[in-house]
Amino acid sequence: MLVGIDLGTTNSLVACFRDGKAQVIPNRLGKLLTPSVVAIDEDGMILVGETAREFGILHPLSVASVFKRSMGTDRVFELDGMKFDAEELSRFVLRSLKEDAEVFLGCPVDEAIISVPAYFNDLQRKATKRAGELAGLKVSRIINEPTAAAIAHGVGGNAARPTADGAAQGVGVVCVEASNEDPVDERCLVFDLGGGTFDVSILEFFACIMEVHAIAGDNFIGGEDFTDLLATMFCARVGVARILLDERTQAELMKAAEIAKCKFSESEKVTMTCTINGQMHSEDFTLDEYEQSCQPLLERLRRPIERSLRDADVHLDQLDRIILVGGATRLPVVRRFVEKMFHRAPEALVDPDTAVALGAALQCGMKMRDAEISEVVLTDVCPFTLGTEVVAGNGTFEEPGHFLPIIERNTVIPVSRRQRVSTAHDNQSQVVVKILQGESRMAANNLLLGEITAAVPVGPRGAEAIDVVFTYDLNSLLEVEVTIVSTGETTKMVVQNEEHKLSDEEVARRFERLAYLKQNPREDEANRLQLLRGERLYEESTGERREIIDRAMMEFDRVLNRQDFYEIEVARERLRKFLDSLEG
């Protein structure tokens, strides 16, 4: 049996498609949401979900949560003396969902479509797939959460509509009925704010094809951060240094903050109560003061939205629908923010908590070619820019370490791009083509996925041309081909995207380099501000706009290297006005 799974930061769900309906399957407690929490009890038994969360409040050193943010990394979580990585912890959650589905469906569940944040990189996607395999599931597809949500909301009029009769089929079951209505061409923006990650995707539906035009996001902001903010406000109000609280009190504080935060959906004034150091404290908060404190978080949500609109070359009035997904979108401050930004009321026709799981289940129906649902062809995009390292001229000397984009982010995949480069030095006997992923203009700040070394005939600088071909497929596999033009010799490499790890020595060298840079004039506060603005705008841009920013930054770097105070002031003001014009 094939199921759809929403493996979330805060909560996870499993859903299936049968009898013409997508339906969320209740867990062993009769609830739709299974908290993504894992704990180990006194007997060494693994606890998952709500039980684990409750156990963790009492035993905070034996519980792990929000580990989805660490997928694809080497972070280790220690529970009661035992060590686990994020994949292994996710495996426990997936295994629990699998067992619940098997009991509900009365048959083995051996295959799944699992959703991930659209902004997950290749390492994180592969880690999610491995977690599914560890749980005994064949992961037939990784689907982006906003895309799944769009399917559940019936984008294009083709996918689904909510139905109430599903509740009779099981305790707490939520259903969405498939539809074969004539498709409607439309463009939508999916605003997906979950417990720990934020995604925004711009999708267009036409001729039974759902095409992703742009994705952006932040894997380190979600509902948990809005809860954490309220907890910090509470501590400040009662005069308690939060950093000095023990783990158990911290857990109780977060639980009280979560309860109070959720009450904002019902009232513009809430009371938060928590016992700290044996004394019970109770404080009132208004929605307006909470919203004011949330402004830095809301600003972090604004940036990915603006980036996705810019990448897709779409204006607000060209969007047919704004769809809210994720439990954190229930928060009034978030809904107000979306309404103000888009000048219209967003949609949440399907429960924000269940939309992604239902969409994944509908995708299961399409994969099984169920007669009750029309198939939708899904296109995807490359979430991050792929490129290599080159030497660039800044007008005075050749500056190494620059990033050369080859496949820009949000390029529809599968895709193949060719870039011709040449030797950078006289008497060069080989070239090293570094395979990089990221958005920084400097190669060292991007993720190194691998490298290819190829021999070249010795000669003067620029005499030998090298063709570099990047090919990125639907399975997130990157093939790199390096051809020496004069000899025709070709070297190929399929990047498996294992994480690049820095040794202690490399970390120490990086800190030394940063310490050295602090003595440079660029570390003057005013200079640093403009440099950081430029770096940010470069990362937010693509194509020709990136080249223009890179040239402006290189020019400013050249002036800084001369260390002439007056000239730096003039150049800084020129750069500031240029960056202002870009942001205007």
First to last CA, the chain: 53
Nearest to 443 by CA among 399, 397, 380, 383: 399
| SS3 state of residue 540 | helix
| SS3 state of residue 449 | strand
Any idea what the Cα angle at residue 234 is, between residues 232 and 235, rounded to 5°? 65
CB atoms within 10 A of CB 82: 12
Radius of gyration of the chain (CA): 26
- The answer to whether 240 and 253 have CB atoms below 8 angstroms apart is no
**Cα gap 31→13, rounded to integer Å:** 10
- The catalytic position among 85, 177, 192, 218 is 192
- The catalytic position among 21, 68, 126, 129 is 68
- The catalytic position among 6, 199, 408, 464 is 6
**Cα gap 232→65, rounded to integer Å:** 19
- The answer to whether 401 and 388 have CB atoms below 8 angstroms apart is no
Checking DSSP bridges between strand 63-65 and strand 37-40, what pairing results, if any?
Answer: antiparallel
Q: Any catalytic annotation for residue 68? A: yes
| SS3 state of residue 283 | strand
- The catalytic position among 88, 100, 122, 145 is 145
- The answer to whether 5 and 115 have CB atoms below 8 angstroms apart is yes
| SS3 state of residue 182 | coil
Q: Any catalytic annotation for residue 129? A: no
Q: Any catalytic annotation for residue 145? A: yes
Nearest to 210 by CA among 202, 198, 200: 202
Residue with tokens 């060069």: 428
- The answer to whether 386 and 411 have CB atoms below 8 angstroms apart is no
Q: Any catalytic annotation for residue 192? A: yes
| SS3 state of residue 448 | strand
Active site residues: 6, 68, 145, 192
